[in-house]
Chain A
Amino acid sequence: IAGITQAPTSQILAAGRRMTLRCTQDMRHNAMYWYRQDLGLGLRLIHYSNTAGTTGKGEVPDGYSVSRANTDDFPLTLASAVPSQTSVYFCASSDSIAGGSNEQFFGPGTRLTVL
């Protein structure tokens, strides 16, 4: 089934631990994104990738890193988790980043709690 998958669905993590959130899409989209969604705030862009091999920083990149080794996968790593990173994380993809009408498709999300 075409779409975006994320893993894990949810995770409770001790502060200071390293964690990688996985994201895979099978739509052959060039652009991929990581957002966090917190109550009362809009989706905030953490990192993005225009195409395989390139990445860029979004609005809230501190404490997070990404890689884009191929078209399908876009993992997000928290090097040393802190409680303020407790959030719901959404991965998304679109055909390209240029051209305003490119709809973003979202994965189901990962609910992360850092204690």
Chain B
Amino acid sequence: GQNIDQPTEMTATEGAIVQINCTYQTSGFNGLFWYQQHAGEAPTFLSYNVLDGLEEKGRFSSFLSRSKGYSYLLLKELQMKDSASYLCAVVDSNYQLIWGAGTKLIIKP
């Protein structure tokens, strides 16, 4: 079967750095997305990785290792507005997105 694993919840301090991990086992791989979802709102796109390595976009970076079936989202200089759920999703061989359950990130002052 297909499986995406993320931690259920993480807590971090404002101004700090946090890494949210995602491991996956899917039928085929055509890329990996990270989305942000604030409570009661729709998911919004953060990043896309298809090749191994680190993609940096401002305070957010995303890393992919296809051989290990592993990705992480790195958030730097945390702000209170970063409190949200972070969803990892893999594009499978049918170009469908397989979603993880999401990681709820709580930022404390």
**A residues with CB within 8 A of B:** 40-45, 48, 58, 90, 97-101, 103-109
Contacts and interface: CB of A to CB of B under 8 A. Distances in A.
A40 B102 CA distance: 8
A42 B103 CA distance: 10
B99 A44 contact: yes
B44 interface: yes
Interface stretch (B10-18, B68-76, B90-98): B90-98
Of residues A43, A104, A106, which shows the largest number of chain B Cβ atoms within 10 Å of its Cβ? A43
Contacts of B101: 40-42
Interface of B: 4, 8, 30-31, 33, 41-45, 48, 50, 87, 89, 91, 95-102
From DSSP, what is the main secondary structure of chain A's interface residues? loop
Contact of B96 (A58, A90, A99, A109): A58
Contact of A43 (B45, B50, B99): B99
A98 to B, nearest CB: 6
B100 A107 contact: no
B50 A97 contact: no
Given A42-B87, A42-B98, A107-B42, 4 more contacts: A42-B4, A43-B89, A103-B48, A108-B42
Contact of A101 (B4, B43, B48): B48
